[in-house]
Chain A
Amino acid sequence: MWRFIAGRLLQAIPVILAVITVTFFLVRVAPGGPFDSEKAVIPEVKAALEAQYRLDLPLGQQYLAYLQDLARGELGPSFKYPGRSVNELIAAGLPATAELGAYALLVAVVLGGLAGVVASLKPNSAQDYIPMSVAMIGICMPTFLLGPLLVLVFGIHLEWLPVAGWGDIPGDKILPSLTLGAAYAAYIARLSRAGMLEVMSQDYIRTARAKGLPEWQVVTRHALRGGLIPVVAFLGPAFAGLLAGSFVVETIFQIPGLGRFYVQAAFNRDYTMILGTTVFLSTLIVLFNLLSDILAAWLNPRLRAQYGEA
């Protein structure tokens, strides 16, 4: 197992390095610099600023210098927020985003999994069509639409829940989590339905029935585990996706998260911030993919054995 993990981590290094390199030069090619503003900048001032950010060095040197800093875990100073290091900004944004992502994932797994399982028990019946239709809407409903809609209903009209904020007013974490989780819940619903249908047609389910187990035990004890493995495999990419895609929700609900920093950075040409967040996120993506593979293996004895020896 450990060997397998180590191997995967080693594989990740070149990937992340490549991401860094490409991003580094991509952002430099992009038009508009971090100091362009609506009012003309005095050349002397601009020169002074560029000196302060090492932008006066040749690009190659800047790149090497950045890698050196990175090796020391230094992501450099932010352009947009003078006096703040990228490390600091990420540290500030991560908790909210991670929490949001976690809740959203929870929503996705619980609602999606439930819908999928329920649907799979009576395929091609109302019990199947209704949850699946909802899921379809969930998939095509963009967050920039779902979010405000939920706020309108639960925040403005029903006045059940706060319309914005994060951890300021009790309950203000519910709507964002729902909004972000919805799309993934929909995907998970489809996945788990497919998975369950697959498993329910297996011979060992028939064996379980032949034992005289009641149907719900057949499902929970025998079918669920196998049926949800595809879902587990999907979790890693999903969580990474949540982190990267959380910015819409964060802006809608005024959540102090990483996503906002990330997108602002892109718009502001905050070179160090873009690089920093990209490095960070791509690392997370790799890690979570690995994590969900491990989880899947843990659920599946056969895989476990394979990794065990590999």
Chain B
Amino acid sequence: MYRFVHVLCLVLMAAFLGGCSAGESNVAQGNRDGILHFGNGSEPQGLDPHVVTGVPESKIIDALFEGLTRKNPWTLEPEPGAAASWEFSDDRRVITFHMQPEGRWSNGDPVTAHDFVWSWRRALDPAMGNLYAYMLYPVENAEAYATGKIDDPALVGVRALDDMTLEVTLNAPTPYFLQLMDHYSSYAVHRETVERFGKATDRFTRWTRVGNIVTNGPFQLQNWELNRRIVVERNPHYWDNDAVYLNGIVFYPTENIVSEERMFRVHQLHYTADVPLNKIPAYRKMADTPFVEAPYLGTYFYLLNTERPPLDDVRVRKALSLAVDREALTRNVLYGSNNPAYAITPPGTLGYQPPQLFTHDPEEARRLLAEAGYPGGDGWPGLELIYNTSESHRKIAVALQQMWKDALNITVTLSNQEWKVYLDSVSQMNFQVARRGWIGDYVDPNNFLDLYITDGGNNNTGFSDPVYDELILQRAPRAATQEARFALFHEAETRLMEQMPILPIYTYASKHLVHPSVKGLPPNLMDFVNVKYIHLEDVPLTEFELE
């Protein structure tokens, strides 16, 4: 018996030792071969620019495809992409794009204006079911076509004057329109390829698979293993191929951020999609830390259902908001990784500064609550706060729950809901207070402020103010200058925060671990990665010591 035991122990030990990773780490290998190992958060739904939504998808699609323009990762200013140059008409309603003379698809075909015309029509076609169709709404008749009011795609304001010239007509001057040109919903797809595998508007075809897909970006798809990795390699036909440093990128669906951080720590990743909150302090302490954080174009806030008591009373809404010590929250619960927010729009979007009408003021909060008829919390009917299941949402909710109790002596019950249930409750406005976050699709206050127009699809608060609607929908678009426009936005946002249908909490921050060997991957407001600028330096790998 015992002999038996011994033998087995030996076998197991052997298995362990044999298993020990003697091999060279991903990062070392990558630095040598110019391959970037990229933590991408999760498995992409797919790679069809007109079908998918979501950040992980965008990272891969941005590597494979290229829109008319492509942002500079430092300035976020549009730089030539599929279009070499463009000019605006005097009324700034018509934009003419001149295509890259050397623009090529990965199979060698030229990239023409017709490709974009066809692709945009595809993107807008209702049958396509493209959730991001609205990104093209500034284009003339785009909305009408996407919502089936007209069914002649020719009426949509995008034409190819010739192979190399694309003319886009807008409903109204849209300052941020160029930014939309590197959002994947405005990308071009390769017509023959798409049609070889099915109808243009078919969601189920295999055209995006390895071997089938044809793209016009700096990289082309090499390998796609579900839930394991997606590998893209240099696209030799890319017009600006010489400017591209990387030979390839490996995207990992790192769902579990704890293990993602650990993979980074043992040099299995160059870049992580996120960083566990509680790891931040340790990384901050590190000399030349790999931890990179930057304000992110998004706001974390609570929706207040203005149609349900007690929140139908603006004083109660204000009281709740004033009672929240955002400084303490961000400092202690979020480890100072985010900035307090006092309005819906993140500060510094292209120079726009949102109003700050209030600060943490328990006194005032108590006064307002008393005014509203709940002095010292007497007669408080109770309030329920819903949030979708997640560690960080829970932490914030727990903290605020206590702040409200301390400051206002009112009880707020928490209820976390499974994702889809939560979405259902929110869209049905079946809640009193609901956690919410909004990430900008493009850098412009409008992207946040038009959420709260009356009956806006993402309003979800019952907030309705004709003046506000007019400011956002009528006057701002027609503003002569950016300053005038921002002034109108400021006025609108002030009205919004006076009504307080939402309770802003903090401004998002992008948080990544970036290996010292990675250059040209700067943090920016859009958390935008421009793969063209990334290069790797073969620095010696050092241990990341967390104490």
A and B touch in the complex (CB under 8 A): yes
| A82-B8 contact, Cβ under 8 Å, with A163-B262, A252-B256 | no
CA A31 – CA B95 in complex, angstroms? 45
Render A119-157 as a binary contact track against B, CB cut-off 8 A, 1 for contact.
001000000000000000000000000001001000110
| A181 CB to nearest chain B CB (Å) | 12
CA A39 – CA B51 in complex, angstroms? 15
| A156-B265 contact, Cβ under 8 Å, with A151-B259, A254-B254 | yes
Q: Are B23 and A114 in touch, CB under 8 angstroms?
A: no
- A215 CB contacts on chain B under 8 angstroms: 1
Within 142-180 of A, Cβ neighbours of B (below 8 Å) are at 148, 151, 155-156, 159-166, 169-174
Q: Are A164 and B225 in touch, CB under 8 angstroms?
A: no
Q: Are A36 and B424 in touch, CB under 8 angstroms?
A: yes
Q: Which of A236-244, A260-268, A275-283 contacts B (4 or more CB under 8 A)?
A: A260-268
| B223 contacts the other chain (CB 8 A) | no
Q: Are A254 and B20 in touch, CB under 8 angstroms?
A: no
**By the criterion of a CB under 8 Å from any partner CB, how many residues of chain B are at the interface?**
67
Q: Are B420 and A36 in touch, CB under 8 angstroms?
A: yes
| A253 contacts the other chain (CB 8 A) | yes
| A2 contacts the other chain (CB 8 A) | no
| B144 CB to nearest chain A CB (Å) | 11
- Inter-chain contact total with CB atoms closer than 8 Å: 185
| A93 contacts the other chain (CB 8 A) | yes
| A48 contacts the other chain (CB 8 A) | yes
Q: Are B21 and A162 in touch, CB under 8 angstroms?
A: yes
Q: Are A261 and B227 in touch, CB under 8 angstroms?
A: yes
**By the criterion of a CB under 8 Å from any partner CB, how many residues of chain A are at the interface?**
65
Query: Which one of B1, B209, B420 contacts A32 once the chains associate, using CB atoms below 8 Å?
Result: B420
| A38 contacts the other chain (CB 8 A) | yes
Q: Are A93 and B227 in touch, CB under 8 angstroms?
A: yes
| B311 contacts the other chain (CB 8 A) | no
| A92 contacts the other chain (CB 8 A) | yes
Query: Which one of A33, A45, A47 contacts B130 once the chains associate, using CB atoms below 8 Å?
Result: A45
Q: Are A42 and B15 in touch, CB under 8 angstroms?
A: no
Q: Are B424 and A32 in touch, CB under 8 angstroms?
A: yes
Q: Are A81 and B146 in touch, CB under 8 angstroms?
A: no
Render B31-74 as a binary contact track against A, CB cut-off 8 A, 1 for contact.
00000000000010110100111000000000000000000000
- A81 CB contacts on chain B under 8 angstroms: 43, 45-46
Q: Are B1 and A219 in touch, CB under 8 angstroms?
A: yes
Q: Are B262 and A170 in touch, CB under 8 angstroms?
A: no
Q: Are B126 and A92 in touch, CB under 8 angstroms?
A: no
Residues of B within 8 A of A (CB): 1-5, 8, 15-23, 43, 45-46, 48, 51-53, 126-131, 133-134, 146-148, 203-206, 208-209, 225-228, 252-256, 258-259, 262-263, 265-266, 268, 418-424, 427, 437, 456-458
